[in-house]
């Protein structure tokens, strides 16, 4: 069943980056509304009221009942832009819908239960697809789609074809995998490494050193007497 949230917006005459900055300076969020042949119209909404309206809901699949100049319009949020650093919303696109016409939108897929392969085999649940596209009448828009994965064992998967969405046509490919249970990762054994600066012990000598090794040979250190030199020229006596 469709979920509704009320919000008030006001027309915005000035457009462009400078005008948008001025709107944000006044604690408001620049916005736009379009759809059903109406001319795109620039709006502004109170920043605090917008954050409050979006708390606890699925923005893409919740009908926003927008009050504009005393008139109400049922809309879906097509895009929310946030500041790249702060969580502040900096722009919103509202798409007007009609109660008597089907609408295409994306709804989130929520997994229910803990898979058997996780409980009993240490596997890991991997959700591959987090939303699907559907076509449905506004009154039957679901805020989310739930899928039970408790029976999944290691290597088993669930697909889009396993979803049940009353009153809706699923447009996403039926064979697309939504979630699977993968085996646990094997722990890597890291070989010990020698830390830099650690001295490597020298191998122990197996042969027995000779007695004279490492010691000065007796008499080797003694200074040999200088050889006698014969006087030059003439013979003795």
- With b meaning 16 or more CB within 10 Å and e meaning fewer, what string describes 70-83? eeebbbbbbebeee
pLDDT at 68: 93
Q: Where are the domains of the chain?
A: 4-97, 105-182
Alpha carbon distance 228, 186 (integer Å): 85
- One pLDDT digit (tens) per residue for the chain, 237 residues: 688 999 999 999 888 888 898 999 999 999 999 997 788 999 999 999 999 999 999 999 999 999 999 999 999 999 999 999 999 999 999 999 999 999 999 999 999 999 999 999 999 999 999 999 999 999 999 999 999 999 999 999 999 999 999 999 999 999 999 999 999 886 655 666 655 555 555 555 445 555 544 444 444 444 444 444 444 444 444
CATH fold, domain 4-97, is Ribosomal Protein L25; Chain P (2.40.240)
pLDDT at 198: 53
Q: Which of 80, 73, 64 is nearest to 38 (CA)?
A: 73
Is the model's pTM score more than 0.85? no
Tell me the helix, strand and coil percentages in the chain, rounded to 5.
Answer: 15, 35, 50
The CATH class that applies to domain 105-182 reads mainly beta
């Amino acid at each position: 069943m469709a979920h509704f949230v009320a919000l008030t917006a006001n027309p915005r005459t000035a457009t462009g980056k400078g005008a948008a900055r001025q709107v944000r300076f006044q604690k408001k969020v620049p916005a736009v509304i379009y759809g059903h042949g109406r001319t795109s119209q620039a709006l502004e909404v109170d920043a605090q009221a917008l954050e409050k309206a979006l708390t606890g809901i699925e923005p893409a699949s919740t009908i926003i009942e927008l009050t504009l100049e005393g008139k109400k319009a049922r809309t879906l949020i097509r895009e929310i832009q946030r500041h790249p650093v702060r969580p502040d919303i900096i722009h919103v696109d509202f798409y007007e819908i009609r109660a008597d016409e089907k609408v295409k939108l994306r709804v989130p897929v929520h997994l229910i239960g803990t898979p058997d392969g996780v409980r009993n085999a240490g596997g890991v649940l991997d959700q591959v697809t987090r939303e699907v596209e559907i076509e449905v009448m506004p009154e039957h828009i679901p805020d989310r789609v739930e899928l039970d994965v408790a029976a999944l064992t290691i290597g088993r998967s669930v697909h889009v074809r396993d979803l049940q969405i009353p009153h809706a046509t699923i447009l996403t490919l039926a064979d697309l995998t939504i979630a699977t249970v993968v085996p646990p990762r094997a722990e890597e054994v890291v070989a010990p490494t020698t830390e830099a600066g650690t001295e490597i012990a020298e191998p122990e000598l197996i042969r027995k050193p000779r007695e004279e090794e490492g010691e000065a040979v007796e008499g080797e250190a003694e200074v040999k007497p200088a050889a006698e030199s014969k006087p030059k020229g003439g013979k003795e006596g």
